[in-house]
Amino acid sequence: MKLSLKKVMKLLVTRHGETEGNVKRILAGVKDELTVKGVEQAKKLAKRLKNEKIDAIYSSPILRAKRTTEEIVKYHKNVDFHLVDELREGDLGSYKYKPMDRVDWNNLPSDVENKTSLYRRAKKIVNKAFKKYPKGTVLFVAHNGINKAIIRVIKNLHPEDKISIPQHNTALTVCEINSKGKKIKLFNCTKHLE
């Protein structure tokens, strides 16, 4: 009797390199650029991933994520590459350009995207990637808020769960996804920056 092989997708999740907004602790807009350090972080992440067999890269179309992805793509020129809105950072509405310590995340204004909306987007892109690459390795390059939502999806947490989920710049999280479930194998790893 032949055993059937399980379909397992390896999902790599990372955040863009450091930006001016990160340094100044300000909630950034779409034009927030990588700092010199952020470009270096992206290059180090790219070197860490250069020998990884990646079948597809999905990136947020926002500049800081795109710029980080450009460094990775240098080592993966023939990989399927997709810019997808599902990986955009949460819409900050009236919180945009405000200092992080002057916003109330527990009482969001109606124009700021909430965790449930981020969770729906995260679930949609995870399912979309799994459907297309059920035995492949897929890389997501995105942002703090949406990456936290992706982790909530992987861990099967409630969208509004208050658990602390750190997402350091260019940190790597490795997940395995199959039809029976999802698990995290490596979380928020920055060893390439040491």
Residue 61 and residue 145: Cα distance in Å, rounded? 15
Beta bridge partners of 173: 13
Active-site residue flag, 89: yes
Residue 151 and residue 122: Cα distance in Å, rounded? 9
Active-site pick, 18, 71, 86, 89: 89
Active-site pick, 16, 71, 76, 143: 16
Residues with a known catalytic role: 16, 89
